Amino acid sequence: MTAGAAPTLSVTLRVWRQAGPGAPGRFVDYPARDLSPHMSFLEMLDVVNDGLTLRGEEPIAFAHDCREGICGTCSLVINGKPHGPNRGVASCQTYLRSFRDGDVIVVEPFRARPFPVVKDLVTDRAAFDRIQQAGGFITARTGSAPEANALPVPKADADLAMDAAQCIGCGACVAACKNASAMLFVAAKVSHLGLLPQGQAERDRRVLAMVETMDGQGFGGCVNQYECSAACPKLISHDFIARLNRDYRQAVLRAAFQPAASEASGGA
């Protein structure tokens, strides 16, 4: 498994460099030579950055943390594809064995207006947090929870909720969409909580608030091409977008036709 006598590869990285949010950006070529195919894509950037540092140049800023595909921090567009050439993995789980000797590899940040570039390959994805804050929760004050097994959840529902809940909040769905839609992200959270009995009380309020915030943050609508699911490192299904649409319609209708319950006044 070690490099040793194993074949190596050399590539040219064409990297987006941008000093700050307002600054103009441009592509700069960096050679990366004699790399082990077992090296991860981010480890290659580490090596390139060490070289830049020693030459007195500023290293390439890129977002990363867990390097095992679960924290959602890494966010590269590699050769035009968010998270690179392989299905169902994040940028950090992309290995050089996916490339050939002599390749020119274009590396860009996620591009979408709601994700402004911070520096080089790093973008600001706080818009996702704002969508979560609008309604991506079940209100369960600490200490107020009933006994966990008091409310059985059919296994099929729990499994489907888990499929949706796997979202790592990376934003590849947005970067992959030509309309910069965040609907797969919102659909995943709305479906996860809406599939569970605990999530019913706030189901309508949740979907209305999250969709409104999603629109307010500047994300576009779904154009039904499902690039989002294809780019998703957890392969979250676009079926959840249909569920989001259904939930949203129901909530809008219920809000329009059901008389609002009169607000109870405070205690005497």
CA distances from 34 to 53, 95, 103 (A): 19, 14, 13
Inter-residue contact 27 to 14 (CB < 8 Å): yes
Residue nearer to another protein on the CB measure, 108 or 120: 120
Q: Which two tokens stand for residue 71?
A: 């924290």
170 phi/psi in degrees, rounded to 5: -85, -30
State the minimum distance, in angstroms, from the CB of residue 106 to another protein: 22
Nearest to 203 by CA among 160, 165, 248: 248
For the CB of residue 225, give the shortest distance to another protein in the complex, in Å.
Answer: 26
| Residue 145 beta carbon to another protein: minimum distance, rounded to whole angstroms | 4
- By beta-carbon proximity to another protein, the closer residue of 12 and 132 is 132
Q: Which helix (H) or strand (E) holds 106?
A: strand 104-109
CB closer to another protein, 28 vs 66: 66
Question: To the nearest whole angstrom, how small is the minimum distance from the Cβ of residue 250 to another protein?
Answer: 19
Select 222 or 234, whichever has its Cβ closest to another protein: 234
CA 42 to CA 24: how far, in whole Å?
24
Shortest gap between Cβ of 45 and another protein (angstroms)?
10
11 within 8 A of 32, measured Cβ to Cβ: yes
Answer positive or negative: Cα dihedral of 81, 83, 86, 87.
Answer: negative
Question: Which CB sits closer to another protein, 155 or 178?
Answer: 155
C-beta closer to another protein: residue 199 or 221: 199
Two tokens at 218? Answer: 């500047």
* Smaller CB separation from another protein, 18 or 222: 18
- The C-alpha atoms of residue 263 and residue 244 are separated, in whole angstroms, by 28
Alpha-carbon radius of gyration of the chain: 22
Shortest reach from residue 105's CB to another protein, in Å: 17
Tokens of 57: 């140049």
As measured in angstroms, the least distance from the Cβ of 257 to another protein is 27
